[in-house]
């Protein structure tokens, strides 16, 4: 019923300009209670899918399925359009700007993703102007350029948010705007507003009598500013003659509210007085508690923890008068009690830690110091009062004292194991730390243990020296006997090895003569090893020379096999060239070249490179011929479109074929196609002039 009781007139134009394809699109749907206008501009190079049309159709379809003036609905529609563009991107990434405007015939809301523009005019002023999601808009907001669509406008194509963007898409939806009779809406794409300023839009509105006239005036102004190139442009306007009037319940609501509020106000005054008295008492208690707490804090600064604890306990006792409440006052009461409990607990930990330290209970002292620091961090103001460095230093002293005891125990164990070097180092480390801690008792104990260890060491050394001397004399006699027996065995062994080595060498000579190079090398290696073992240098050198000769024979045999393999690849390549399979032939030739290079057959390498060059040349000639046939098909499509008077299509096909001919450097064909393009442009100009003459006559 809203639509029937209002009057909205929508008019629009969408032109390709001098571009081969119109990348803009506009659509709208009018329903009983809601109306939705959508305008979009595509930026991709896909000629098969219109990203702008896909985005507009998707938004309108989603809106029609579940219409609403809510922000969530508008975002849902735009997100679905973004998803569709991503899903249908194949050859090119589909990208587009979009503007969505929704109204319930009395209020309006809009959203922009990209650089499409939206204006609301009221009388001779602009009521609302949309913001782009571009670098230009950021420059305007940061006052780097004026908002006049002139300076810095080239950055309006540098989009930060747009449909088809990879990653998260940010969508901002405007607040609701109340419409009035005679309001005018204007929606444009970048191709229009980058030439026409907001002031010029207002000037054109002064002469317009209706939506159609306003659209015509804007297009005339736009075309008057063009050069030889005219961009895609879309203009849509809505003239609102009458908005839907909603019933006003304001006076009735005010009267009822007054009747309800009078008794509430009386109760509020009485309650407020009672609360004032209670609050006054509460503030007095808080002041007393804070005074006692401050005294405790001063004792903390003096590190007089016993007196500080008494003050905090007294403050906690006084704070019991602060009742549990809800809201801000309740939180303040709870915060005071929590703060005092933190201070009390922290101080108790510090007192216990000091007592444990004095009793040499270092582990317990360390843990209590640590608990004190952690507890104090629950109230950072109190934490700042504590001298954390002093507490940490006491913890270090606890660690050192424990460490000294563990080092002494370790050194004692090392002495028991007769590891006197390690024990000496461990006692020295313990003594050093005890000196740093000024622990004279520990130092005296360590010195005594070191003296006892040195006495034990001296006694053991004397016993060892006597025993070692007797063992050395006995061992020397036994060693002389063993050496005599070993000398005889060595001589016999050398003689046997020399005999075996000679047999191995003779067997290698026989195998090498038969052509079994690898087995011969194995026998030579065994003979060489045997000669080296017994120090037969001359015989070892002779066998070494035989090994070098065998390696030369083996290398020549391997080169012959590899050369035969390369010849096979050459033969395969020659056969593939005869079958015009040049790419496969080149691969075979390259395999052969790699083999000839490895075995250093220089002549063969040069011959193979020449074959590769010939095959590449013939392959390139075939590719160019195939490309030329494909281009001629595209040119023929242009000729067919020209016959059918489909001049835009003909021009598109000719431009494609022209670019492709340039790619293969066929300049004669390029010149011929340029002539055809010139003919199409002349025909289009003639048709345009005829239209203009007809419009003037009408």
Residue 81 has pLDDT above 90, yes or no: yes
The pLDDT > 70 percentage for the chain reads: 95
Residue 499 has pLDDT above 90, yes or no: no
Name every residue whose Cβ is closer than 8 Å to that of residue 633 and which is 6 or more positions away in sequence.
none
- Boundary (domain end) residue, out of 188, 218, 242: 242
Q: What is the DSSP string of 85-154?
A: HHHT-SSS---EEEEEEEE-SSEEEEEEESS-EEEEEETTEEEEE---SBHHHHHHHTTSS-SSSSTTGG
Lowest mean pLDDT among 53-62, 274-283, 596-605: 274-283
- Boundary (domain end) residue, out of 340, 363, 386: 363
Q: What is the pLDDT of residue 8?
A: 95
Residue 250 has pLDDT above 70, yes or no: no
Q: How does residue 279 score in pLDDT terms, banded at 50, 70 and 90? A: low
Q: Which residues of 58-95 are buried (b: 16+ CB within 10 A; e: fewer)?
A: bbbebbeeebebebebbbbbbbbbbebbbeebeeebbb
- Boundary (domain end) residue, out of 582, 598, 614: 598
24: domain CATH number is: 3.60.40.10
State the average pLDDT over residues 462-467: 85
State the average pLDDT over residues 347-369: 87
Q: What is the pLDDT of residue 460?
A: 84
Residue 271 has pLDDT above 70, yes or no: no
Q: How does residue 14 score in pLDDT terms, banded at 50, 70 and 90? A: very high
Q: What is the pLDDT of residue 405?
A: 81
Residue 604 has pLDDT above 70, yes or no: yes
| Boundaries of domain holding 90 | 7-242
583: domain CATH number is: 1.25.40
Q: What is the pLDDT of residue 275?
A: 58
State the average pLDDT over residues 232-255: 81
Q: What is the pLDDT of residue 6?
A: 94
- pLDDT digits over 36-59, tens only? 999 999 998 888 889 999 999 999
Residue 226 has pLDDT above 90, yes or no: no
680 plus 589 within the same structural domain: no
Q: What is the pLDDT of residue 274?
A: 62
- pLDDT digits over 299-317, tens only? 888 888 899 889 888 988 8
- Cα–Cα nearest to 426, from 440, 409, 451: 409
- Average confidence score pLDDT of the chain: 85
Residue 528 has pLDDT above 90, yes or no: no
State the average pLDDT over residues 351-364: 86
State the average pLDDT over residues 441-450: 87
Q: How does residue 28 score in pLDDT terms, banded at 50, 70 and 90? A: very high
- pLDDT digits over 114-146, tens only? 999 999 999 889 999 999 888 888 888 888 888
641 plus 585 within the same structural domain: no
Q: How does residue 35 score in pLDDT terms, banded at 50, 70 and 90? A: very high
120 plus 193 within the same structural domain: yes
- The answer to whether residue 14 sits within a structural domain is yes
324 plus 234 within the same structural domain: no
- pLDDT digits over 672-684, tens only? 888 888 998 888 8
CB-based contact 394:350 (threshold 8 Å): no
119 plus 205 within the same structural domain: yes
State the average pLDDT over residues 272-288: 72
CA distances from 210 to 122, 213, 218 (A): 14, 5, 12
- pLDDT digits over 142-188, tens only? 888 887 667 667 787 788 899 998 888 999 999 999 999 999 999 99
State the average pLDDT over residues 353-376: 87
Q: How many domains does the chain have?
A: 4
Q: What is the pLDDT of residue 287?
A: 86
Q: What is the pLDDT of residue 323?
A: 67
207 plus 316 within the same structural domain: no
Placement of tokens 């002139």 in the chain = 150
- The answer to whether residue 556 sits within a structural domain is yes
517 plus 661 within the same structural domain: no
230 plus 256 within the same structural domain: no
Structure token digits, residue 377: 């961090």
State the average pLDDT over residues 273-281: 66
Q: What is the pLDDT of residue 257?
A: 66
- The answer to whether residue 474 sits within a structural domain is no
Cα(57)–Cα(44) distance, rounded to whole angstroms? 18
547 plus 653 within the same structural domain: no
Q: What is the pLDDT of residue 563?
A: 81
Q: What is the pLDDT of residue 307?
A: 92
Q: What is the pLDDT of residue 438?
A: 79
State the average pLDDT over residues 531-542: 80
- The answer to whether residue 428 sits within a structural domain is no
Dihedral sign from CA coordinates of 601, 606, 609, 611: negative
Name every residue whose Cβ is closer than 8 Å to that of residue 92 and which is 6 or more positions away in sequence.
44, 45, 46
Cα(647)–Cα(681) distance, rounded to whole angstroms? 8
- Cα–Cα nearest to 385, from 294, 297, 290, 291: 297
Q: What is the pLDDT of residue 511?
A: 80
Q: What is the pLDDT of residue 472?
A: 84
521 plus 566 within the same structural domain: yes
Q: What is the pLDDT of residue 10?
A: 96
211 plus 285 within the same structural domain: no
108 plus 238 within the same structural domain: yes
Dihedral sign from CA coordinates of 481, 485, 491, 494: negative
Whole-angstrom Cα Rg for the chain: 50
Specify the higher pLDDT residue, 257 or 171.
Answer: 171
CA 67 to chain CA mean position, Å: 37
687: domain CATH number is: 1.20.58
The structure's pTM equals 0.41
Structure token digits, residue 473: 């004399």
Residue 68 has pLDDT above 90, yes or no: yes
- The answer to whether residue 436 sits within a structural domain is no
- The answer to whether residue 418 sits within a structural domain is no
- The answer to whether residue 195 sits within a structural domain is yes
Q: What is the pLDDT of residue 228?
A: 83
Q: What is the pLDDT of residue 26?
A: 97
- The answer to whether residue 388 sits within a structural domain is no
Q: What is the pLDDT of residue 269?
A: 65
State the average pLDDT over residues 641-649: 87
Top mean pLDDT of 504-508, 546-550, 570-574 is at 570-574
């Amino acid at each position: 019923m809203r639509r029937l009781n209002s009057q909205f007139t929508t008019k629009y134009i969408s032109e390709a300009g001098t571009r081969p394809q119109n990348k803009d699109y506009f659509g709208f749907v009018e329903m009983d209670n809601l109306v939705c206008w959508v305008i979009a501009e595509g930026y991709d190079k896909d000629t098969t899918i219109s990203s702008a049309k896909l985005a507009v159709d998707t938004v309108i379809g989603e809106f029609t399925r579940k219409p609403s003036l809510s922000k969530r609905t508008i975002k849902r529609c735009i997100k679905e359009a973004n998803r569709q563009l991503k899903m249908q991107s194949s050859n090119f990434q589909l990208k587009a700007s979009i503007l969505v405007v929704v109204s319930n015939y009395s209020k309006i809301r809009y959203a922009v993703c990209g650089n499409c523009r939206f204006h609301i005019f009221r009388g001779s002023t602009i009521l609302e102007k949309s913001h782009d999601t571009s670098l230009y808009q950021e420059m305007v907001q940061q006052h780097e350029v004026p908002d006049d669509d002139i300076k810095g406008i080239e950055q309006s194509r540098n989009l930060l948010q747009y449909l088809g963007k990879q990653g998260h898409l940010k969508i901002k939806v405007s607040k609701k705007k109340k419409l009035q009779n005679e309001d005018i809406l204007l929606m444009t794409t970048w191709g229009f507003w980058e030439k026409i300023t907001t002031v010029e839009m207002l000037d054109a509105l002064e002469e317009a009598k209706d939506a159609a006239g306003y659209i015509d005036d804007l297009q005339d102004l736009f075309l008057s500013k063009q050069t030889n190139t005219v961009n895609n442009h879309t203009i849509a306007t809505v003239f609102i003659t009458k908005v839907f009037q909603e019933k006003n319940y304001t006076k009735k609501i005010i009267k009822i509210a007054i009747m309800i509020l009078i008794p509430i106000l009386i109760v509020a005054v009485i309650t407020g007085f009672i609360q004032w008295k209670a609050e006054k008492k509460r503030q007095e208690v808080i002041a007393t508690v804070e005074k006692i707490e401050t005294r405790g804090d001063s004792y903390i600064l003096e590190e007089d923890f016993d007196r500080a604890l008494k003050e905090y306990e007294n403050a906690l006792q006084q704070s019991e008068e602060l009742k549990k409440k809800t809201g801000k006052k309740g939180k303040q009461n709870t915060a005071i009690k929590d703060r005092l409990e933190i201070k009390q607990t922290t101080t108790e930990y510090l007192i216990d830690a000091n007592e444990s330290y004095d009793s040499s209970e270092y582990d317990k002292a360390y843990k209590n110091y640590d608990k004190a620091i952690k507890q104090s961090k629950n109230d950072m103001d109190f934490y700042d009062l504590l001298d954390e460095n002093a507490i940490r230093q006491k913890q270090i002293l606890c660690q050192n004292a424990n460490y000294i005891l563990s080092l002494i125990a370790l050194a004692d164990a090392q002495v028991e194991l007769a590891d006197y070097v390690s024990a000496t180092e461990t006692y020295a480390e313990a003594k050093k730390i005890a000196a740093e801690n000024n622990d004279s008792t520990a130092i005296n104990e360590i010195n005594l243990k070191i003296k006892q260890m040195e006495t034990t060491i001296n006694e053991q050394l004397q016993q060892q020296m006597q025993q070692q001397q007797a063992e050395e004399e006995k061992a020397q006699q036994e060693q002389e006997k063993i050496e005599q027996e070993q000398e005889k065995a060595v001589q016999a062994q050398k003689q046997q090895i020399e005999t075996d080595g000679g047999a191995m060498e003779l067997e290698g000579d026989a195998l090498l003569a038969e052509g079994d190079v690898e087995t011969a090398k194995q026998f030579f290696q065994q003979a060489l090893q045997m000669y080296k073992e017994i120090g037969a240098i001359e015989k070892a050198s002779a066998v070494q020379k035989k090994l070098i000769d065998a390696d030369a024979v083996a290398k020549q045999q391997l080169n012959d096999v590899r050369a035969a393999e390369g010849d096979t690849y050459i033969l395969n390549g020659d056969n593939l060239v005869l079958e015009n399979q040049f790419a496969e032939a080149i691969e075979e030739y390259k395999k052969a070249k790699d083999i000839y290079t490895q075995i250093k057959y220089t002549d063969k390498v040069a011959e193979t490179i020449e074959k590769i060059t010939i095959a590449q040349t013939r392959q390139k000639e075939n590719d160019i011929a195939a490309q030329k046939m494909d281009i001629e098909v595209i040119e023929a499509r242009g000729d067919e479109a020209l016959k059918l008077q489909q001049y835009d299509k003909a021009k598109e096909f000719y431009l494609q074929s022209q670019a492709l001919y340039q790619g293969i450097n066929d300049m004669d064909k390029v010149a011929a196609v340029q002539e055809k393009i010139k003919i199409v442009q002349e025909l289009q100009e003639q048709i345009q002039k005829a239209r203009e003459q007809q419009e003037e006559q009408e």
